[in-house]
Structure 1
Amino acid sequence: MFGSSGKHQRLPSTSNEAGRISLGNQNVAAVQPNVERTVSYTNSKSDTAYDLEPQDRHSLDSITSGFSYNRISTGGEAVEETTTGHVRLRDLDADEHSSFDAERSRERSELSPTQRTDSLSEELPHTSGASMISSFFNLTNAIVGAGLIGLPYATRQAGIIIGPILVVIVALLVDWTLRLLAFNSKLSGQQSYQGLVEYCFGRTGLLANSFFQGAMAGGGMASFIVVVGDTLPHVLTALMPGIAESGFGGVIFSRRFVVAFFVICMAYPLSLYRDVGKLGKTSAFAVVAMCTIITSVVVEGPRIDPALHADPGTPVELVNTGVFQAIGIITFAFVCHHNSFMIYGSLRKPTLNRYFEVIHISTGISTIVSLVIAIVGYVYFRDKTQGNILNNFPQDNLLINIARFLFALNMIATFPMETLVAREVIDQLFFRDKEFSMRRHVLITTALCAGSLIVGETVCNLGVLLELTGGLSASFLAFILPPACYIQLSSGRRFTWKTLPHWLCICFGFTVMVLSTVLSIRHAASSKESVGSCWG
């Protein structure tokens, strides 16, 4: 994090390895074994100095540029040449306990950007101390939420060739930009997405980020409710057909009642948690549910009534015209940037090395399961593929009903993570200088859950909801802001070969955001299932 301008904050090291790294305008010097050593560099944009302990030697070559540095070993022998415009910050993850000081975040928010400074290896006191396994479950659950069952529909939109390619491309971009966000937060000293964007772009950036982040979280909450409404009534009716046929059963098994009951009695209490680390067990269950869904679709697809499949003469579309709508759905499925800061901060030892490992494993597994359900689900139903692939199966299929039930519980378990994000956006915008209030916490949580419940009860076309939320908000949060913040934080010229990937990612994000949103609105306007049919 940023240190005070003109000053260095040093972190001691007892390592026997000799050497000193000097970056930017700092003098190159060597130190002897068994003495304290630091890494120093200067960000020319803010004229701010930073100190780090070089230990873990973690390379961030793929995401860092814009700084200059020298590195020498004991005795002054240069081991790496000075490089202008690019820095290999191998030592950013030096301290096992490096992260952000949560207790000082309020004080820092009241300071100017040049005053809002900390050591990059400052330790964060944790309340949750989540393990890497728990963080893996949280991140995987955040990635493959409601968007998972919409991926066959995305493949229908883009085609059997383009669809899987888009899944891989989006997954790679998400992996890269998640790591880029963590690196940006280290440089800026911010522990939230809003704080990072405000640091880089001021109040205007904060407002823009809050809008898109709030829309993403709200869209996620609403889509989870739509999934619950699509699944649980079918399950309950299949389990208790006698009750379902009675007048009383017709009420309690209706979509409106079931959704309201499960949101109020299960999702809402979980949403009152303030610590994402405590949701690790529910996220572990959600990942198990995800595996069950994949298995049920693969196994039951060939066994259901052939009349539910695509007509025998219907071809498998290799390339289709709905590429940008498909990108919106896939982006929604993978994007978890808006709650990645909470997952990162909940790690017991939140170093970049550990967090990057969590990111790689989570995105890798999510990509595999996404490809399986996207391809298999589309091949089975082709032009009949619905926005929720489980709706393509009959109501009385036992294995599919188990998958429906587990996926509904998955959504209920994931719902609180989106609520945490939406609540944080509101707190940062309107109550950042106020002490925590349990009354305010409960009121905001209640309002968020009630609002999403209304939307989820009214809109029941999951595909359209995923397209709109993914195209508008997810693209901005995942593909535009992370590289833009990095370019803003880095020193040197902004337009160089080293920053070309960042600019290409920004252009890709804007293209997807505009085209996907426009096309999705047109689709929603022409769709008979977008609004109103949920009330029958």
Structure 2
Amino acid sequence: MSTNDNANSGLYSQTAPRESEGNETTPLLPNISSARGASFAFSVFNLMNAIMGSGILGLAYVMASTGILSFCILLILVSSLAGYSIHLLLKLCDLTGISSYEDLGGRALKKPGTVLVGIAILIQNVGAMSSYLFILKSELPAAISSILSPDQSGDVWYLDGRLLLILITLCVVLPLAMFPKIGFLGYTSSLAFFFMLYFVIVVVVKKWSIPCPLPQNVTCQVSNSSDMECTPRLFIVSSRGAYAIPTMAFSFLCHTAVLPIYCELDRPSKSRMQNVAIVSISLSFLLYFVSALFGYLTFYAHVKSELLLSYNAYMPRDVLVMTVRLAILISVLLTVPVIHFPARKAVILVLRGNRPFSWLTHIMTTLVILGVVLFLAIFVPDIRNVFGVVGSTTSSCLLFVFPGLFYLKISRQPLRSLDSIGAMFLVAFGLVVGVISLSGIIFTWVQRF
């Protein structure tokens, strides 16, 4: 999710919007473009950090729910539409000079647009933070248990995931989130990409270490697994497929970071930034697909909604699994305060507008947001529920609906133009997929009860 560097949208200043005349566009941020900005490679790295997140842990489960070929088609579709919606945002940025997603909403729909985008960003980032804290809750006890000797494991407080989560939130996340500016966390968030790359490598390597059929203690079934369970399936139709597109949308959402990265790009131009987006999405697609494919080919139908949990039952004390678990935990812990920043910014913007900074508002907003996130992380039973609900609602809006809608409202292009038709398709696709996916997820909940 990902949302690793969504906070970057609040770390850059915004220039005053400038209208273009006729069909010509104004140069983007001339005061920044005159200075040397971030290189093409560094911008790709930044955008990949914004894309890669906790969603990578849920994609193997999605492949097990849809089949390899179906998964590949859907992943290509979602990543392509993500790239196209970035293309529309960049056109709007050139057209208006606006470098903030919330302010684009304000230009398109006035005050309701700003509020709508602010609420969507808040819910999206609360969902992202909840998914990260959920990973801490599920993986931290396993990490501690793998370090201890078997006779030390048992019903002890430091193996209680909920208690550990509360302590970590109060002692680490809260102090870091209290800072009004978090530029210094940008350096630590760059580690996230390397941790994700290491995770993918370990998933590939461990494919050859785990036999199939899986042992009974892994499948949790009375009867032994059959050889048929070791045959990959290309197409699967099941109610669990309702989580597919929402989880993918959750995984490719980086749109709140695109415009700020554009502003810092060396020799910024729409085509240059579009190439940054294409390279970033393509590399992220590759990492997502490889991790999902080898995770699925390791556990097949028994893959869990959070992939690392699948390894716990079979090789809890394996050195590589222990190190990748530690890497993911560090990445998660350092990223939560970064994601918190735009969520708090969105709340304050909606409630107070552009009033002067207030420590009271800052502290109260921080405490309330972290309280809600902690509550969700503790009581939500399955991480796929976070991916599904957030992905089918706010991720679909920020990824598909809003870029298309804002382009139709702001652009002066005729409705029969190629980009206008594409924008209308984005809006329709986002709304239809969001409604169908959310309905399917609710249906699976009802079936369970």
Give the TM-score, by structure 2 length: 0.84
Question: What amino acid maps onto 1:157 in structure 2?
Answer: S
Structure-2 change in CA distance of 1:370 and 1:429 (3 Å): same
Structure-2 change in CA distance of 1:220 and 1:498 (3 Å): closer
3-state SS in 2 of match to 1:386: coil
Tell me the distance in 2 between the aligned counterparts of 1:205 and 1:499. 19
3-state SS in 2 of match to 1:225: helix
Tell me the distance in 2 between the aligned counterparts of 1:285 and 1:2. 34
Structure-2 change in CA distance of 1:497 and 1:193 (3 Å): closer
- What is the aligned partner in structure 2 of residue 115 from structure 1? none
- What is the aligned partner in structure 2 of residue 304 from structure 1? 210
Tell me the distance in 2 between the aligned counterparts of 1:473 and 1:169. 18
1:504-523 aligned at under 5 Å gives the runs 504-523=425-444
Q: Rg bigger for which structure?
A: 1
Structure-2 change in CA distance of 1:130 and 1:272 (3 Å): farther
Gaps of 5+ in 1: 5-40, 44-66, 70-88, 100-120, 529-536
Tell me the distance in 1 between the aligned counterparts of 2:297 and 2:150. 35
Tell me the distance in 1 between the aligned counterparts of 2:151 and 2:90. 52
- What is the aligned partner in structure 2 of residue 260 from structure 1? 166
Question: What amino acid maps onto 1:317 in structure 2?
Answer: R
Tell me the distance in 2 between the aligned counterparts of 1:257 and 1:358. 42
Q: What is the total number of aligned residue pairs between the two structures?
A: 419
- What is the aligned partner in structure 2 of residue 27 from structure 1? none
Aligned 8 A contact 1:464 1:523 in 2: no
1:448-501 deviation digits (Å, cap 9, x = unpaired): 222201110111311121111111111111111112111211115324445212
Question: What amino acid maps onto 1:448 in structure 2?
Answer: I
Question: What amino acid maps onto 1:514 in structure 2?
Answer: V
- What is the aligned partner in structure 1 of residue 388 from structure 2? 467
Aligned 8 A contact 2:415 2:421 in 1: no
Aligned 8 A contact 1:377 1:389 in 2: yes
1:17-32 aligned at under 5 Å gives the runs none
Q: Equivalent pairs: percent with the same residue?
A: 23
Structure-2 change in CA distance of 1:230 and 1:435 (3 Å): same
1:409-420 aligned at under 5 Å gives the runs 409-420=330-341
1:378 aligns with 2:284: no
- What is the aligned partner in structure 2 of residue 204 from structure 1? 112
Aligned 8 A contact 1:164 1:375 in 2: no
Tell me the distance in 1 between the aligned counterparts of 2:190 and 2:17. 36
Alignment equivalent of 1:282, drawn from 179, 188, 193: 188
Tell me the distance in 2 between the aligned counterparts of 1:363 and 1:175. 7
Alignment equivalent of 1:391, drawn from 309, 330, 354: 309
- What is the aligned partner in structure 1 of residue 144 from structure 2? 236
1:433 aligns with 2:354: yes
1:320 aligns with 2:226: no
More helix by share: 2
1:401 Cα offset (Å) = 1.8
Tell me the distance in 2 between the aligned counterparts of 1:175 and 1:304. 36
Aligned 8 A contact 1:135 1:277 in 2: no
Which of structure 1's runs of 4+ aligned residues deviate more than 6 A?
A: none
1:367 aligns with 2:285: yes
1:171 Cα offset (Å) = 1.5
1:177 Cα offset (Å) = 1.6
Tell me the distance in 1 between the aligned counterparts of 2:436 and 2:182. 34
Tell me the distance in 2 between the aligned counterparts of 1:492 and 1:447. 43
3-state SS in 1 of match to 2:21: strand
1:316-343 deviation digits (Å, cap 9, x = unpaired): 3322225442011111111122343444
Structure-2 change in CA distance of 1:230 and 1:124 (3 Å): farther
3-state SS in 2 of match to 1:161: helix
Higher mean displacement: 501-510 or 439-448 = 439-448
Higher mean displacement: 266-275 or 205-214 = 266-275
- What is the aligned partner in structure 2 of residue 79 from structure 1? none
More strand by share: 1
3-state SS in 1 of match to 2:343: helix
- Please provide the CA RMSD for this pair: 2.9
Aligned 8 A contact 2:60 2:303 in 1: yes
- What is the aligned partner in structure 2 of residue 407 from structure 1? 328
Tell me the distance in 2 between the aligned counterparts of 1:350 and 1:212. 28
RCO higher in 1 or 2 (8 Å CA, sep ≥ 6)?
2
